[in-house]
């Protein structure tokens, strides 16, 4: 396993547990005061941004030390594990009414990952992420950041869906999420066209 792949694994290993801590805080406010003190929404925002930056770091390492086919498959998979861990937090708490956008994006991500996995088994297929997919990842992350910023700057929104959606950052995150769906659909279509060749 290359150093770039190890960095990708950081997102897989650490993203879900921290997302779980956040969902505990949102579902059971006041029940875990130590978690709320040490792992506030602001801390979770910083951690999410740090984990997201590992995507840039592993890309730089891959360019410097050489790309591998496994690394090209693992990097987008690690992105999806991180993003969907945090997306689940919002689906099951304050942003449940945006479940349709999340569901569409999830289905497109499953299709994209399946295409990449099938392509991985065929030596003639390119498994690198295309530009549509990279834009989708950026937009999906931006939507999550907007939702996390809502929790940071509008703390009362953590327990009230109406207050959450009255925050401009939550509405912005929702709009960005739909844009991510469009880019994800384009990415899947692009990969399907590659398969036809």
Specify whether the CB–CB gap between 145 and 110 falls below 8 A. Answer: no
**Token pair for residue 156?**
């009362």
pLDDT one-digit tens code per residue, 19-61: 999 999 999 988 988 888 888 999 999 999 999 999 999 888 9
For the stretch 189-194, contacts whose Cβ atoms lie closer than 8 Å and that sit 24 or more positions apart, written own/partner, are: 190/130, 190/132, 191/112, 191/115, 191/116, 191/119, 191/130, 192/115, 194/125, 194/126
Per-residue pLDDT band at 85 (split at 50, 70, 90): very high
For residues 104-124, one letter each, b for 16 or more C-beta atoms within 10 angstroms of the residue's C-beta and e for the rest, the string is: bbbebbebbeebbeebeeeee
All structural domains of the chain, each given as residue ranges with its CATH number in brackets, are 3-196 (1.20.120)
Q: Which residue has the tokens 């207050």?
A: 163
Determine which helix (DSSP H) or strand (DSSP E) holds 62, and give its type and residue range: helix 41-65
Rounded to a whole number, what is the distance in angstroms from the first to the last CA of the chain? Answer: 31
Q: What is the pLDDT of residue 173?
A: 96
Its pTM stands at 0.91
Task: Report how far residue 138's alpha carbon sits from residue 132's, in angstroms, rounded to the nearest whole number.
Answer: 10
Answer whether 76's CB lies under 8 Å from 84's CB.
no
Tracing tokens 């579902």 back to the chain, one arrives at 27
Rounded alpha-carbon distances, angstroms, from residue 172 to 1, 33, 76, 149: 39, 30, 24, 11
pLDDT tens per residue, range 91-115: 999 988 889 999 999 999 998 888 8
Contact 69/124 with Cβ under 8 angstroms? no
Please give the pLDDT value at position 168: 97
Handedness of CA 79, 82, 85, 87 (dihedral sign): negative
């Amino acid at each position: 396993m290359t150093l770039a792949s190890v960095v990708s694994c950081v997102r897989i290993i650490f993203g879900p547990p921290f997302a779980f801590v956040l969902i505990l805080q949102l579902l059971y406010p006041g029940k875990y005061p130590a978690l709320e003190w040490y792992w506030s929404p602001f801390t979770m925002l910083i951690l999410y941004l740090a984990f997201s930056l590992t995507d840039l770091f592993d890309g730089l390492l891959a360019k410097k030390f050489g790309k591998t086919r496994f690394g090209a498959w693992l990097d987008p998979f690690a992105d999806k594990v991180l993003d969907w861990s945090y997306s689940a937090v919002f689906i099951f708490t304050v942003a449940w009414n945006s479940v349709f956008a999340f569901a569409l994006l999830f289905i497109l991500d499953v299709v994209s990952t399946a295409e990449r996995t099938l392509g991985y088994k065929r030596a003639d297929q390119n498994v690198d992420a295309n530009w549509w997919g990279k834009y989708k990842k950026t937009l999906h992350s931006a939507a999550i950041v907007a939702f996390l910023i809502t929790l940071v700057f509008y703390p009362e929104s953590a327990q009230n869906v109406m207050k959450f959606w009255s925050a401009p950052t939550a509405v912005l995150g929702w709009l960005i999420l739909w844009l991510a769906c469009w880019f994800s659909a384009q990415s899947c279509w692009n990969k399907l066209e590659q398969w036809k060749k």
